[in-house]
A and B are shown apart, each in its own frame.
Chain A
Amino acid sequence: GENVEQHPSTLSVQEGDSAVIKCTYSDSASNYFPWYKQELGKGPQLIIDIRSNVGEKKDQRIAVTLNKTAKHFSLHITETQPEDSAVYFCAAGSGAGSYQLTFGKGTKLSVIP
């Protein structure tokens, strides 16, 4: 089955700096890569996703890059703000016929004001 590794497990940055979280996956059939943000006491919520026919996707201060050859994808948050503090999960899923998502272990991001 799919295996997703996520690094680092914890990350502290100063407000205004950038944060990068990296994930690798093992199944070359995976073609859907979402990122979820989990705030304290809440369920994970999708913040951005990318499909294997796209190399990079941006949404305001958040961007995700995908390297299918190397089987890794990354989340980039620029100009971090205190409200970005949360646990972030990457995930990988294959396409039609199997809708399972395999999640990484999570990264706890702390943005220091």
Chain B
Amino acid sequence: EAQVTQNPRYLITVTGKKLTVTCSQNMNHEYMSWYRQDPGLGLRQIYYSMNVEATDKGDVPEGYKVSRKEKRNFPLILESPSPNQTSLYFCASSLIGGLNTEAFFGQGTRLTVV
């Protein structure tokens, strides 16, 4: 089954404790991205990656890091989480083929930073 898998689904952590949210896709997609979803603000892109070892900032990258060492994986790293990073996070992937194509989203990770 084609899917994007995020882990964990729920996470409560304390300010300053480094954490990683994993994302994996099994569709051989080149393009992967991370979004955060906040009430009244919709989906805002954090980082994206066009391919292995090619990452770039989205609209709200501050406080986040990513890496793309393998095509299927795109982890999101919070080196020193703060309460304003409490949010619902989504990973997405899509095929690059000359035109924008469907973005497949994971189930989401609800992060609470206390």
Contacts and interface: CB of A to CB of B under 8 A. Distances in A.
Contacts of B33: 100
A51 interface: yes
Interface in A1-53: 1, 6, 9, 31-32, 34, 36, 41-46, 49, 51
The residue in B43, B100, B102, B103 that gathers the most chain A C-beta atoms within 10 A of its C-beta is B100
A103 interface: yes
Interface residues of A, number: 28
A96 interface: yes
B60 to A, nearest CB: 12
B58 interface: yes
B108 interface: yes
10 contacts: A9-B40, A43-B106, A44-B105, A95-B100, A96-B99, A99-B50, A100-B33, A100-B58, A101-B103, A105-B42
List of 9 A-B pairs having minimum Cβ-Cβ separation, nearest first: A43-B105, A32-B100, A105-B42, A103-B43, A93-B100, A46-B102, A103-B42, A44-B105, A106-B42
Interface of A: 1, 6, 9, 31-32, 34, 36, 41-46, 49, 51, 89, 93-96, 99-106
